[in-house]
Amino acid sequence: MDMRQLRTFHRAATLLSFSRTAAELNYAQSSVTGQIKGLENALGVALFERLSGRRVRLTPAGRRLLPYAERLLLLAEEARSAASGSPEPSGRLVIGTMESIATYRMPPLLEFFHHRCPQLELVLRPGSGAEILDGLRQGALDLVLLIDTETLHPGLESTVFGPEPLVAVVAPDHELAGRRSATGERLRSVPILAPESGRGYRRLLEGEMDCRTAPILESGTVESTKRWAAAGLGVGLLPAVAVADDIAAGVLVPLDWRPPSAVYTQLVRRRRTPVSREMRLFIDQVSNLMAEENDQLAA
């Protein structure tokens, strides 16, 4: 099999569009079509099903080939690095993540890689938990950092860093701010502010508050949830790391309330896929960062 054909197949399988693949790889569309056809002839199977509107989708054979193509391309990249003798991490890592992690956890990591590994490009792709896990399975992402109630994801391997502390917050003048404790029953009587659907702690919030009795105001993002809570519109449930500065400044007040179950910060990768030197470095740095944060919380 030709490596150029495999690379084109991998991008087409990720984008599900020959025209977008051609634009990304700077090929003519006829070249993409020819490379895919040549790979199909070499393997003796159809890899894509052509749909209407220039869309394509993988055949069963294409889905079976995709993880092997990923491994072969990764090994080829490792072989090139080893042969060149380059001591510096290089290339490109595409990381799927969530807004709270991208905003409050990624800056130290980005600073580290910017100064220590200038030849390595980190690309962040924010999205909901379901979106980024799908992107990882499809090969559009190399790694995923997320917060979720579940730690087992079909076809994927998770490194769990521990429970993610959650905080229920209100404005300083909110009716619940002065109470010693806030039960789930009491919280159900006030508006609940929630980020967009699909997040682990959003589902936990809905289960605790019972959407049939508690009005859910969907704010869209972590930042808007904080602003709405500060404006006195209701109670927000967010990761502690996202509201620490607001609580310290007195903009928000934490309630004495414990969530009924935990959510976990975790790094996820495709199972049985080789871990490159760059991926290992990223995983190690995330592990170090989370260990430092856990030590600070314990202190």
pLDDT under 50 in the chain at which residues? 198, 211-212
Assess if residue 259 is contained within a domain. Answer: no
- Predicted local distance difference test score (pLDDT) of residue 43: 94
Same domain, 232 and 115: no
Do 101 and 48 fall within a single domain?
no
Element (H, E) at 225: helix 222-230
As to burial, measured by CB atoms within 10 angstroms (0-12 exposed, 13-18 middle, 19+ buried), residue 87 is exposed
Task: Look up the pTM and report it.
Answer: 0.71
Q: How high is the pLDDT of residue 36? A: 94
Same domain, 73 and 18: yes
**In total, how many domains does the chain have?**
3
Q: Which amino acid type is present at position 96? A: G
Q: Are residues 228 and 208 in the same domain?
A: yes
Instruction: Assign residue 16 a region (left: φ > 0; alpha: ψ between -120 and 50; beta: otherwise).
Output: left
Which CATH number do you get for residue 35?
1.10.10.10
154 plus 272 within the same structural domain: yes
Q: Which pLDDT score, from 0 to 100, does residue 177 have?
A: 87
Residue 115 lies in a domain: yes
Tell me, what's the pLDDT at 54?
74
118: CATH: 3.40.190.10
User: Are 286 and 140 found together in one domain?
Assistant: yes
d(CA 108, CA 45) in angstroms, rounded, equals 47
Q: Same structural domain for residues 32 and 80?
A: yes
- Asked if 175 and 152 sit in the same domain, the reply is no
Domain's final residue, options 67, 84, 101: 84
- Specify whether 175 is located in the same domain as 250: yes
The per-residue pLDDT for 201 is 61
Confidence (pLDDT) at 16: 86
Nearest of 296, 299, 298, 294 to residue 164 by alpha carbon: 294
Residues 186 and 249 in one domain: yes
Tell me how far CA of residue 16 lies from CA of 49, 57, 267, in angstroms.
10, 6, 26
Cα gap 5→133, rounded to integer Å:
26
Specify whether 64 is located in the same domain as 123. no
Helices and strands counted in the chain (H then E): 12, 12
Cβ 268 vs Cβ 156: under 8 Å = yes
**Amino acid present at 22:** A
What is the span of the domain harbouring residue 214?
Answer: 166-254
**Domain edge (last residue) among 18, 50, 84:** 84
